[in-house]
Amino acid sequence: MILQQYTLLFVGLLVMVPATHAVYAYSDTDTSSVTVSEILSYSLPVIKEQIRDGNIDDARTLSAINAEIFPLHLQNLRAYDGAVTDEIHILLLDIHDGIGDVPDSEILVQIENIERLLMTYPIMDPDYGMVIAMLLSVSDEQYQKSQVHNNPLLYDYALYLAERSHELFSHTVYDDRLRLEIDSFLGDLTRQIKDKQDFVLVGTLVTTINRDLTGAEPVSYDKQGLYDAIYGLYDEMLVALDTANYDTAEALAIEAYLENFEYLEADIEQADPELLYSLELDMREELRTMIKDGQDSEQIRAFLQESILPDLQTAESMVTTQGGTVSGDIIPQKVIREMGDASSEQKSGVRSEIDFIRNTLQEMLIQYDTGDYQAAYNSARTAYLDSYESVEIPLRAINPDFTLEVEFQFASLRNLIKEQAEYDKVRDQSIAIKRNLDESERLVTGTGVLAPAIAFSSSFAVIFREGLESVLVLGAILTYLEASRNNRFKKHVYLGVLFAVAATAVTWFVASFIIDISGANRELIEAIAALSATAMLFYVSFWVLNKIEHKKWMEFVKAKVWQATTTGSVTVFVLLSFFTVYREGFETVLFYQAMSGFAKYMEGYVGLGFAAGLGVLFLIYYIMRKIGRRLPLRVLFGLTMGVGAYMSITFLGNAVRELQILDLVPYTGLFGIIPRLDINLATMTGIYPTLETILSQLVLLGIYLVASLYVLVLRPRLEKRLTAMRRSHGDANAC
């Protein structure tokens, strides 16, 4: 939460041009340096104190805040010294991951190294207004957390930043009117925090202060509505005063000023600066002072009606006459971007960096396994500093919390290597990072257009392929029963279908539950599911291939129907329809479970494909039962065989890659040789630039081609020759 709110303010401050801010040159680098130094100069000594006192949880709480905030300033701080900035960044992440696991003495040394490195940043010309705005955003968030979780540590942190912001205000340059207002607000903020007032009130005041500091309005607004809101709030305030409810009256007076009048100031200043100044003092200072002092309600009413309301009405009239306007939307309402909201250059860069990281982590595992711990540490550090930080730039704007999670994973990997932990622990941490590399790429690149289309068509093809046999068998059974006037058995056929659908649903939930509780073995189970789906598709594809001739298919169906009708047993019909549907349902569950692991963020397209496939199956059933037309089974079975072959090749590629990530199958990169597909497109095709995935897919494709050639071409020719030879032999005997 803090990272998202702080990112919102930070990006907004960097992209805007202050409207009421004093005009002078400042350095974003200096501003970042001061902001980071102010935060770390308080938190690092407190972390050391908490560690010495054994308060590990409190130390980790503060270290997490440091690790969240510092990356937002990386690009600016690197302008000073990239090596120093990267070293501080690495140390902050390692400290957070190491607290409680790494010896305290080592953590303390790391903190002292950061304190020493911070002193190397020169500070020449910062914008203290922006520094204060960012510090107050952190203070606001920590104050809220301190109230919600009753955390004294975060309360002290919030109070310190508020007080320190007030001290730093002396370094700012604003006009007299704005200086007086901000100074008053900062004093109010400190008092509110000391009095432990509701965090909503504190947050409202922080928003107002930051708006004044940056000279920007966060949203567009209806100015007439704001005037009306002020009049309404003052009416409510007078009612509260009449009942001696001074606390409510003060809250209403504050709301009228902070959440309404503040948005009107720029308009009024253009029309009459002196009038604005008078209104500010009356509304912000005089009225509130009278309420806080508990003066008689009639005196307050007279002051409101004789001073504030006439001036407010005059201001409203003047602004309306002059047509004054205030530009809104200076700070975007939503800086956190949607998935895939990155430039083409950024997307391409992310793919390239992730490929480098994946290869580097593979090298790191080899180095670690051979006992070269220093080289392994350097590789882990390189993977993060030289590559993942480039991924973070677009990724942080989309999902800052996930970005931080991966940063901590890299830190944990480095600490494990430094500790010379067991190889399995290092490997497992590497696997977790590799998994999140895919997620990082998905978030930055988005789903695109082609991958969702493949997800839809694959889903459609799976349910169509699996449902076609059931539709044909059930249609043939029902048609035979009607023709033989055995309609009494039809309801039992339908009953078996209902049982099969229910059993399929149960199978889906059981499979999902097993995968959900699999924990660390989830990836292995998904890989096994993909391999099982590959084997099943391989089998059914050749089963279909052998039934591709209409005559053979009808012989197969008639055999099933004859078997059921000759027994005359109700149970036989129920079981026949049940197993006909459930067998395909079981296969469908297997295929969709495998597909769901690879179609992340495209589940909607998978669902649409499933629905469309069911619709087409019902259409085929209708054609069979109502129209009675003969279906082109050779074409339909040929399509389903092709779909099965394609899906099995896709599942096999994904399964091999899952096993590579789990370090169960060798990994040989073919970057630059095999085209590098977008991650979503790769998962929907199973094509990855590694020797093992490509080779396995080529072998399976070759088997399909050879088998298809034999079944469709060579075997028919052989059968024709045998038939001709038998006829020739028969003719010879006849002679």
Q: For residue 379, give the amino acid letter.
A: S
Is the confidence at residue 169, as pLDDT, over 90? yes
Same domain, 132 and 225: yes
Angle at 294 between CA 291 and CA 298, to 5 degrees: 80
**Average pLDDT over the chain, rounded to an integer:** 81
**For residue 634, what pLDDT is reported?**
62
Is the confidence at residue 548, as pLDDT, over 60? no
**For residue 332, what pLDDT is reported?**
36
Q: Quick check: 468 and 636 in contact, CB under 8 A?
A: yes
Distance (Å, whole) CA 554 – CA 562: 12
Least confident of 37-41, 83-87, 335-339, 536-540: 536-540
Q: Flag whether 729 is in a domain.
A: no
pLDDT band at 334 (very low <50, low <70, confident <90, very high): very low
pLDDT tens string 75-122: 888 888 888 998 999 999 999 989 988 899 999 999 999 999 999 888
**For residue 695, what pLDDT is reported?**
93
Q: Flag whether 216 is in a domain.
A: yes
The stretch 374-399 carries a mean pLDDT of 86
The stretch 236-246 carries a mean pLDDT of 90
Same domain, 559 and 698: yes
pLDDT band at 324 (very low <50, low <70, confident <90, very high): very low
Is the confidence at residue 602, as pLDDT, over 80? yes
**For residue 447, what pLDDT is reported?**
83
Same domain, 316 and 455: no
Please say which residue of 291, 322, 353 terminates a domain: 322
Tokens of 550: 């209409």
**For residue 5, what pLDDT is reported?**
52
Tokens of 37: 């130094």
Name which residue leads in pLDDT, 219 or 254: 254
Same domain, 439 and 538: no
Distances (CA, A) of 450 to 347, 438, 500, 584, 679: 16, 18, 35, 28, 12
Ranked by mean pLDDT, which of 188-197, 270-279, 524-533 comes out on top? 188-197
- Give backbone dihedrals phi and psi of 674, rounded to 5 degrees, phi first: -100, 135
Is the confidence at residue 247, as pLDDT, over 90? no
**For residue 146, what pLDDT is reported?**
92
Number of domains present in the structure of the chain: 3
Note the residue count of the chain. 735
- Helical axes 128-149 vs 56-69, angle rounded to 10°: 150
Distance (Å, whole) CA 432 – CA 662: 9
The stretch 216-227 carries a mean pLDDT of 65
Distances (CA, A) of 250 to 182, 454, 558: 19, 61, 87
What letter would DSSP give residue 686? T
pLDDT band at 631 (very low <50, low <70, confident <90, very high): low
The stretch 132-159 carries a mean pLDDT of 92
User: Domain limits at 656?
Assistant: 450-723
Is the confidence at residue 323, as pLDDT, over 50? no
Tokens of 599: 């179609």
Is the confidence at residue 21, as pLDDT, over 50? no
Is the confidence at residue 367, as pLDDT, over 90? yes
Q: Flag whether 333 is in a domain.
A: no
Q: Flag whether 328 is in a domain.
A: no
Is the confidence at residue 333, as pLDDT, over 50? no
Q: Flag whether 314 is in a domain.
A: yes
pLDDT band at 19 (very low <50, low <70, confident <90, very high): very low
Tokens of 663: 């370090």
Is the confidence at residue 218, as pLDDT, over 50? no
Same domain, 425 and 485: no
Tokens of 478: 């029902």
Q: For residue 39, give the amino acid letter.
A: I
pLDDT band at 545 (very low <50, low <70, confident <90, very high): low
The stretch 51-76 carries a mean pLDDT of 90
What letter would DSSP give residue 150? T
Please say which residue of 426, 443, 460 terminates a domain: 443
Is the confidence at residue 669, as pLDDT, over 90? no
pLDDT band at 425 (very low <50, low <70, confident <90, very high): very high
Distance (Å, whole) CA 709 – CA 302: 100
Name which residue leads in pLDDT, 417 or 556: 417
Same domain, 659 and 580: yes
Same domain, 554 and 701: yes
**What percentage of the chain carries pLDDT values higher than 90?**
24
Same domain, 352 and 300: no
**For residue 135, what pLDDT is reported?**
93
Domain of 701, CATH number, reads: 1.20.1250
Q: Quick check: 588 and 463 in contact, CB under 8 A?
A: yes
pLDDT tens string 450-481: 888 888 888 888 888 777 777 777 776 777 67
- pTM: predicted TM-score of the whole model, two decimal places: 0.67
Q: How many other C-beta atoms are found inside a 10 Å radius of the C-beta of residue 722? A: 10
Task: Encode burial over 510-530: b for 16+ CB neighbours within 10 A, e otherwise.
Answer: ebeeebeeeeeeebebbbebb
Can you spell out the DSSP letters for 103-145? -HHHHHHHHHHHHHHHTTS---S--HHHHHHHHHHHHHHHHHH
**For residue 39, what pLDDT is reported?**
94
Distance (Å, whole) CA 555 – CA 540: 18
Q: Flag whether 734 is in a domain.
A: no
Same domain, 269 and 398: no
Can you spell out the DSSP letters for 526-583? HHHHHHHHHHHHHHHHHHHHHT-SHHHHHHHHHHHHHHHHHH--HHHHHHHHHHHHHH
**For residue 562, what pLDDT is reported?**
62
Tokens of 204: 């409202």
Q: Flag whether 682 is in a domain.
A: yes
Ranked by mean pLDDT, which of 318-322, 536-540, 690-694, 729-733 comes out on top? 690-694
Q: Quick check: 327 and 19 in contact, CB under 8 A?
A: yes
Same domain, 303 and 359: no
**What percentage of the chain carries pLDDT values higher than 70?**
82
Name which residue leads in pLDDT, 584 or 378: 378
Q: Flag whether 633 is in a domain.
A: yes
Tokens of 274: 């002196």
**For residue 175, what pLDDT is reported?**
83
**For residue 150, what pLDDT is reported?**
93
Distance (Å, whole) CA 357 – CA 92: 21
pLDDT tens string 400-420: 888 888 888 888 899 899 889
Please say which residue of 402, 421, 443 terminates a domain: 443
Same domain, 358 and 438: yes
Same domain, 286 and 397: no
**For residue 417, what pLDDT is reported?**
92
Distance (Å, whole) CA 539 – CA 533: 10
**For residue 161, what pLDDT is reported?**
95
3-state helix, strand, coil in the chain (%, to 5): 80, 0, 20
Give Cβ neighbours of residue 167 (< 8 Å, ≥ 6 apart): none
Nearest to 228 by CA among 316, 348, 125: 316
The stretch 198-223 carries a mean pLDDT of 76
Domain of 378, CATH number, reads: 1.20.120
**For residue 708, what pLDDT is reported?**
77
